[in-house]
Each structure stands twice: as structure tokens, then as C-alpha cells.
Chains A and B, each alone.
Chain A
Amino acid sequence: MNAYAMSASPVPDTHVVSDRLSKNAMRHASERVIEALLFAAAAVSVLTTVGIVYVLVSESIQFFASVSIVDFLTDTQWTPLFDDAHFGIMVLVSGTVVSSAVALAVAIPMGTVIAIYLSEFANPKVRELAKPILELLGGIPTIVFGYFALLIVTPLLQKIFPELPGFSLLSAGLVMGIMIVPYVASLSEDAMRAVPMSLREGSYAMGSTRLHTALHVVVPAAFSGLAASYILGISRAVGETMILAVAAGMQPNLTWNPMEPAATITSYIVQVALGDLPHGSIGYQTIFAAGLTLLLITLIFNILGQWLRRKFRENY
């Protein structure tokens, strides 16, 4: 900064000015330091990924030293803390799959209908009002949704299905679906709004109704974005923890029936973390193996989502 003050005297010769500036080495040095610091901050995100992979893989390697991968994938019991220990991850995966399926059965139709409504039917005023509501719904803490599932939705469902137990994948899944609706709706709406107006105008000019245009022109054109939003919904459902830990019970149960209680991959991790397992024990390592499974499942869906995006992207 002082370089400017010193060079305040009129110096017509441009060569001298640039010389002075170039001599101010500190100015450039501090710029370099700042750039390096900013880069370091950006690199933290990469370090986070490296850290996640390192922790999950290194603990899982120790786990798989004592449990074979074949047993892990094919055993039909999950009793890691019993004397007769079994480590069949499929038991937990079944809970995750069933609860996610229930959630998606709610979230995908509802989210899509809301998105189509907001992007093709609603007037701007309704849209201005609806978007913050969806955002607030998406911002509700999952533990509060868990409370909602256990103490409000389950008793309601028990009036319809009297045989429904106090903990069930069904009520947890339904509430999880409501939780995911805002994500699906807002991403799908973005995708549909990106479809150029000319396509809709062409369709209207041919005499189509709004609904026909929405379903037969806009939705196919925005398909890659819709698919991406569904995939994100799946990732959310698979990774959701607290709703399941509160409302689905934490009993490992190999089942495909949503009316039963069951543990999921995530709620098992919570259950172990709530207890007092010594660092380095096999029980401690199981949560990392479960976490690695979870990460791989979400990773597969992410890759699938990116592939769908690329494959079905329409260029305008």
C-alpha cells in the first residue's frame, strides 16, 4: 500500500513505476501466501473425503480379518454382540431397503406432482409462497420427524391396522418420505423450469392442454433432472438415521414386510454408539463395516445418477 504513497510524485516515465511495483516484493509474497491459504481451505474438502475413506476402509480391513466377506454378505443373522456372533449385513440391508422403498413410494409421486404443479400450473404468487414452505419442511430436524413418526403417525396407523406394532418400518418410512418430498420437489422443479418455453408453446399451439403438455413434453424433456432428483431422494432415504432409530425399533430383523420393526444400517450404528463398546473391539469395528456398506450404496446411486444425467440430457 505504501508503494502508492511513495510514488505519488509525478513520474511520467512508466518504466520507473513498474520498476517500483516490481520491487515491492512483499506485496507479491503476501499474495502468494494468501493464495496458498485459500487453496488449503479448498483442499479441506478433499481431505475430508480421504479421511472418510481411510477411516472406514482401515477399520473394515481389521473387521474382515476376523469375518469373511462371504459370511458378511450371505449370513442371514446379525448378532455381532452375542457369544454366537453372526455378521450378516443383509439383515440390516433389508431394513434399509424396505424403509427406503416406503419412503420413496411417498416422496417420488408427491414430489413430482408438486414440482409439475409449481412449474406448470401455479401462478407466481403461489410459487413464491410454496417454495419457502417446502424449504421449512426440508429444514425440520430429523429427530423431530422421529418423534412425529413414533408418537403421532404410529398411533394413527394403528387405528387403520390394529396389528401394527409400536415400532415399524412403515411409519418411519412414511415420515421419511414426507421429509424427502422437498428435496425431490425442488430439484425436479428446477429441471422442469429449465425446459425452454418454445417447447411448451409448440405443444399449446397444437392444442394440448396444460396437463398433456406437462406430462408429454416437459417431463420427458426434463427427464435427466427428474432422475437425478429421485436418485438424491434414494441417497437421503438410505442415509437417514434418526427417524428409523426412533420409530422403527433397533432389532435386527431380516424382513421384507414394512409392518414389522427392524434395524437398518444407520440405526445399528446409532445403537452401538449409544452403548459402551471398547475402541478396537470387533463390535466397534462392525459399525465401520456397516458404514462402509452404507457409503458404497450411496456412492453407487450417485454414480448411477450422474450416468443417467449424462445419458438422458437433452441439449437445447
Chain B
Amino acid sequence: MTDNVLILGIGNVLWADEGFGVRCVERMAQSWKLPPAVKILDGGTQGLYLLPFLEEADTLVVFDAVDYGLAPGTLKIVEGDEVPRFMGAKKMSLHQTGFQDVIATAQLMGYCPKTLLLIGCQPEELEDYGGGLRDVVAAQIEPAIEVALTKLAQMGIVAEPGETKSDLLADASIMHQAYEAGRPSEHDACRIGDDRFFPVAE
């Protein structure tokens, strides 16, 4: 039987590079035709809501912005037991909902996927509410997708160029292009952040 794979993007698209994960799944669905055993999901800012999806999956591939303290735009791949550690380590988890807790909960309940792969990208800018991905991070979307495709290929799952229709992606109005095109200028919309309270990698 084929393993069920969940490809999950998490993060907040309203917060500059925080949107990396969601943009990855969006692009992947637009440019690759995935077989039915692969589910592709915009997890957005949600936590426990993701549990039912984890329960169904044998393999979980997560795209996320992760602060590893590396140069902006660096991709870092983490697998297996390392995943919760990286997502949960102090000053590393950038998104809102504590995905490490979602994984811990799934483990406690006995339905965490067997195989975990975290494709993380070091953000350049997060203190830009209403902003979009920075170039250096946007440039990593395709390489990040390549990593996911390679993982799928290793499992004998072939993705073909094309498109995957999914109900599980963001509404069209908030997709990357529409979001960027409709953004008010920085002059109209103050977008400063507050670095005093934001965790910085040491």
C-alpha cells in the first residue's frame, strides 16, 4: 500500500518571510501534479486544527520559516526526531501556533507520522506586518520544492509537471500574486515591527 504523504506549509503570510511555508505549498500545487496519496495543505497559523491531517499521514513534509541563525535565505533540512527539537527550540520557532506542540500532541496520542521532514528557510525580514517575502527567501521556494520532490521520488512517488487541484489551499485573494499586487505602499500602511519582543537567534 502506498504511504499517505502530507505536504504542509505553515506560517503567517501577513508577516513578510513568515509566509514562506504557505507560499511553498501554493507554488508546488501550481506547478506539479501530485498523485492522490499526496495531500497538500495550507496550514496557515493554525495548531491543533492540523491534528486530523497528521493522523492520516504516514509521512509529513513541512515547509516553514525557521530561525536557525544562518544567513538569510539559507535552506536547512532536518529529518526524523530532530524535527520537533528544531521547531521547538527556544528562539527558533517563528510561526504563531507552536507546531512543536502539535507534533508532541500527535506523539502523545500515538498518531504522529512515522517519517518527518522539515524544509526550513532562514528568514531575512519578519518585522514587516503586511509585507511580502523578501527576494532572498522567495528565491528559495523552488529549491525547497525540489527537496520535497526528491523526498517523494525516494519513496517511489512521482510528481509530474502540471497542477494539483486542492481545496486545502488559501483563498485566491490571499495567494502570493494577488497579495503582493494589492499591497498598500509602506507610506500608506506603517509596517514596522517591534524587535524588542521578537526572538533573535543567538
Q: Do A and B come from one complex?
A: no
